[in-house]
Structure 1
Amino acid sequence: MAWYRNHYHCGDCGTDWEDEWSCCCDDECPECGSRHWSPLASEDLTEVIAERKSIFAVLRSPAHASDRPRYTQIAEFSSRELAAKLIVDGELT
């Protein structure tokens, strides 16, 4: 399942915040409670790279994840560049 870090701004009180969701959905301001604020920007975190002792692991949020990403490792690489290539291209070429 897709996983996003959404960035919000409340036009009522000026608060900026971010929140992670399985979609790019509207949110409620954590400061004043004003509702229905749409994300100004979103980062796709469905696939991320985690560095572990000189190994770069590609992690993916599975289809059954709904309340949190529940990442599973799908590949390991010796460099961040190779790991990023898998995320961008979907395959190693």
Structure 2
Amino acid sequence: MQESLLEHDEAAETRALVEQASRRAYLHAGDIQDADHRRAPVRVTVGVFGRPDILVNNAAHQVCCDASENNSDEERERTLRTNIHAMFYLC
């Protein structure tokens, strides 16, 4: 996974806010394009908490270009895996 995808500071801040509200949080860093990664947080959450109450799915991929035909097939696939497919699998 690319280091630029990791947002540990923001995740830690969110966790702290959740815990300040006397609740528990589970953080799972990784690349949601990967099917195994998408399954892992659900399994762990159910194992630790019994069921998920809230899912904060804060990930997206976007590349700016002057025309859609300038995006490669690989870029389109990455965008769909991250922005569309992962949402269905995680929810």
Q: Which interval holds the TM-score relative to the shorter structure?
A: under 0.3
Higher helix share: 2
TM-score by length of 1: 0.24
TM-score by length of 2: 0.24
